[in-house]
Amino acid sequence: MVDPAPARHSPRRLKLPLRARFSAALAAAGPWAVLLLFLAAAASLWLAWRVLQPTPDRHLVIATGPAQGAYEEFAKRYLPLLQAQGLSVELRSTEGSADNLALLRDPASGVHAAFVQGRPDDAEAPAAAVKSLGSVAVEPLWLFVREARVAALPGGRLPDNLAGLAGWRIDTGPEGGGSGPLFRLLARAHGLPAEDLRRGERAAVNGVVELVQGRVDALALVSSAEAPLVQYLLSTPGIRLFDFAQAEAIARRHPHLRALVLPRGMVDLAREQPPRDLHLVASTALLAVRSDLHPALAQLLLQAAQQAHGGPGWFNHRGEFPQPASDGLPLAAEADHFYRHGPPWLQRYLPFWLANFVDRMWIVVLPLLAALLPLSRVLPPLVTLRLRSRVYRWYANLRAIEQALERPGADIAALHLELDALDAQTEHIGLPLSFTNELYDLRSHIHLVRKRLQARAQPAAS
């Protein structure tokens, strides 16, 4: 009797039917297509990062002014506020307002921000490269005079008009400061000869020393009331403050100036200094930045300015500064938005750098999330389909063998060879352990078809 089991030969390589190959190709391409979409989204984020620059350089250079001046005091207030946000801040001493403006205009200087004086009527028009974040303080023009020089005048009275100071030695501060341009503007309006005015060759502190020691008769100093030099001269015996009796008329003729009153006893209530109300003329101090400064740094500077200058002072109420008046410099777009709407909403709830990232990147991130979230739900089923397709596609061959077995005159030996080849190839299917049940189901189904082949071979053998 012939052995019903057919002879085993080296299994040949089977080819999948066209439909099965097409389905397998789709299942294989699906995860790759989704992966390509994720890569495209990552490339879009990278491009947006480069264009929108959501995280700026964390180094900031601020030009201040002369030592012991108001601008230096302002910068010292900003320093801890900016450092608390992770910034590295460098304070650079200068001659004053004009020097600061020149540094901002020069890209090679490395200066990002500076305090400058509101532009006098005859000053050079500012460059487009410089923008204002608003005015942060009033800066009176303090004209300090020696009482000994006043005593030598007829009647021992200080004139209330600048023209009465003809022949005096008046120090108007160093070349790069803001005191000289403003005082010369008023001197010309009052007919004070230019030869009486003297530009200081060194820092303002040297002018204070020369005034106290009598080498000059008067010193013009544009600065806030908080400046140490101003406070020193206001309390120095033998030094008197000039009363600009025409302050209101001066302010109306020059719109960038203000008329102020220093109240009686404001300097020292106990000693009643000054002994009467004094009239002053004042410009404004601006916080200026380069026009290409990153908007995030401009926002930080504005928030620091709000904390540093928001308190009450000799000439302002609480919350009066900073304000959007720019006095000759164009107002930056970030400053305009800040004064209209306040700090960005996200910064009230998130750390500054994270809030800034979301604020600048949401226009890119939200559309990408809207596209990627559905894809992320599609990807797991696609991966599952691809893994299962490694098993299910062989059912097409198994089905073909089973159908050929049902036909009359089936070549049992050839079908045995095909089934052996199929069995051999399924031994090399790579699958994660969580999918091995699918593989064992296939192997058991192959075994069932093999039993049917053996059952058909037995009657033929007998």
On the question of pLDDT at 121 being above 50, the answer is no
Tokens of 304: 């620091």
Residues 6+ away with beta carbon under 8 Å from 324 = 134, 135, 331, 335, 336, 339
Compute the average pLDDT of residues 40-47.
62
Q: What is the dihedral of CA 376, 381, 385, 386, to 10 degrees?
A: 20
On the question of pLDDT at 350 being above 80, the answer is no
Note the pLDDT of residue 68.
79
Could you give the percent of the chain with pLDDT greater than 70? 76
Compute the average pLDDT of residues 402-412.
82
Using pLDDT thresholds of 50, 70 and 90, give the confidence band for residue 237. Answer: very high
In eight-state DSSP terms, residue 12 is P
If you search the block for the tokens 């201040």, which residue do you land on? 64
pLDDT in tens, 156-195: 888 888 888 888 889 988 877 778 888 888 988 888 877 7
Respond yes or no on whether the N-terminal peptide bond of residue 324 is cis (omega within 30° of 0). Answer: no
For the entire predicted model, the pTM comes to 0.66
Strands 170-174 and 218-222: parallel
pLDDT in tens, 77-95: 999 999 988 889 999 998 8
| DSSP of 68-130 | TSHHHHHHHHHHHHHHTTT-EEEEE--S-HHHHHHHHH-GGG---EEEEEPPPTTSPPPPTTE
Note the pLDDT of residue 122.
43
Could you give the percent of the chain with pLDDT greater than 90? 31
On the question of pLDDT at 31 being above 60, the answer is no
Contact indicator for 305, 134 with CB cutoff of 8 Å: yes
SS3 135: strand
Closest by CA to 285, choosing from 252, 265, 315, 240, is: 315
Note the pLDDT of residue 65.
86
Report d(CA 455, CA 400) in Å as an integer. 18
In this predicted model, which residue has the larger pLDDT, 239 or 199?
239
The H or E element containing residue 235 is none
SS3 447: helix
Note the pLDDT of residue 138.
92
Compute the average pLDDT of residues 358-363.
61
The H or E element containing residue 371 is helix 352-392
If you search the block for the tokens 């053998």, which residue do you land on? 461
The alpha carbon of residue 115 and the mean position of all alpha carbons in its chain are separated, in whole angstroms, by 20
Residue 437, Cβ density class (10 Å: 0-12 exposed, 13-18 middle, ≥19 buried):
exposed
Domain boundaries, given as residue ranges, for the chain:
59-343, 394-461
Q: Which of 135-149, 251-265, 342-356, 383-397 is the least confident region?
A: 342-356
Report d(CA 365, CA 443) in Å as an integer. 48
pLDDT in tens, 283-297: 999 999 999 888 888
Note the pLDDT of residue 397.
82
If you search the block for the tokens 């093999």, which residue do you land on? 450
On the question of pLDDT at 365 being above 70, the answer is no
On the question of pLDDT at 147 being above 70, the answer is yes
Task: Could you please state the CATH topology (level 3) that the domain comprising 59-343 is classified under.
Answer: D-Maltodextrin-Binding Protein; domain 2 (3.40.190)
Note the pLDDT of residue 9.
43
Note the pLDDT of residue 34.
56
